[in-house]
Amino acid sequence: MSVERKCECGAVMGAYDLDCKACGKGFKVRDEYLVGKDILPEPPVDLWAAQERYAQSKKRGRTRKSRAPRTSARGATATTTIFNLATILLIAASIILVIVFREPLVADSKTLPYAILAFTILISVIAFQRRRFLDRIVMSPIHINRNREYFRLLSSGFGHVDVGHLVLNALGLLSLSYILIEFLVRAYGEYAPLAFLLIYLSAIVISDIPDLIRHRNDFDYSSVGASGAISAVIAGAAISDPDLLLTLYFIPSAPAVPGYVYAFGYLAISIYLDYRGRGRVAHLAHAAGVVYGLAVVGLISVAFGLGFAAA
């Protein structure tokens, strides 16, 4: 019975040696008991003990590695909870401020839209400079549905991808928001600014819902911008006064049309562009915003006998 064996390099080594002295190749203990048809004697006890210690260390190493994802998941869950709570606190703080300063906000119907725009510019500028921040606030259906990052439904309405995107939405907000606020003053009096704030914030969330459902399993889809809320403000303002005439501000020679024609035309164009599926614009969010703005102002008009309901 042989107690020696040959390494793959051809050198002769002891049957229980773990390393070849010629080439340095390492061997496992138990895998080398059988050499050809000869059965090697049982190895010394210290080799068995060394092998058991090695196996136990491997198991402990695997256990430590498996714990890492769970710790990371707990950390991610805690961060998500913090962001969700922070969003709720910001909404509550905004509501309190608007209630406290409701009288000056009613006296100047453009103050609140300018305040919203200022906050939007602040968030957008940070997003321009920090890509990770932008990725954190966009409306991502995967992150919302699977990680419960509900804050994205609101935070996405204050970030923008570039200056042109921000300027276009700023023009939309400032062009007709004061008309909607004046309409709300006739319905709610000094609490009109609060009504406008709630309509604006809820419009951001509502306009995201169709794409949230449609792209719920799409890892690559995300959207950002205030367009959905702006669409709701424009549509609501357009039907708040039956005598209102509007023109496309980016087409100077365009004829003025009644507000309801403007609103429903905007809706039709948004639906058509979404159907065509061209470009990187969330046309479905625009359409959802228009529908929401029409519905909210329509209900208020009927309830208080204002707008088209009074015509």
Per residue in 26-46, pLDDT tens?
665 444 444 443 444 444 545
Task: Report which of 112, 124, 109, 188 is spatially closest to residue 159, judged by C-alpha positions.
Answer: 124
Q: What is the mean pLDDT of residues 297-303?
A: 95
Angle separating helix axes 192-214 and 283-304, nearest 10 degrees: 140
Q: What is the mean pLDDT of residues 12-19?
A: 66
Q: Does domain 101-310 have CATH number 1.20.1540.10?
A: yes
Q: What is the mean pLDDT of residues 154-172?
A: 92
In 10 A of CB 178, how many CB atoms?
Answer: 18
User: pLDDT higher for 279 or 99?
Assistant: 99
Name the DSSP letter for residue 95. Answer: H
Q: Where are the domains of the chain?
A: 101-310
* Global confidence as pTM: 0.74
- In angstroms, the CA 114 to CA 111 distance is 5
What is the pLDDT of the chain when averaged over all its residues?
83
Buried b (16+ CB within 10 A) or exposed e, 18-40: eebeeeeeeeeeeebeeeeeeeb
As given in the structure block, the two tokens for residue 105 are 């906000």
As given in the structure block, the two tokens for residue 4 are 């020696």
In 10 A of CB 146, how many CB atoms?
Answer: 12
Angle separating helix axes 259-276 and 283-304, nearest 10 degrees: 150
Express as a percent the part of the chain with pLDDT over 90.
57
pLDDT for the residue 2? 39
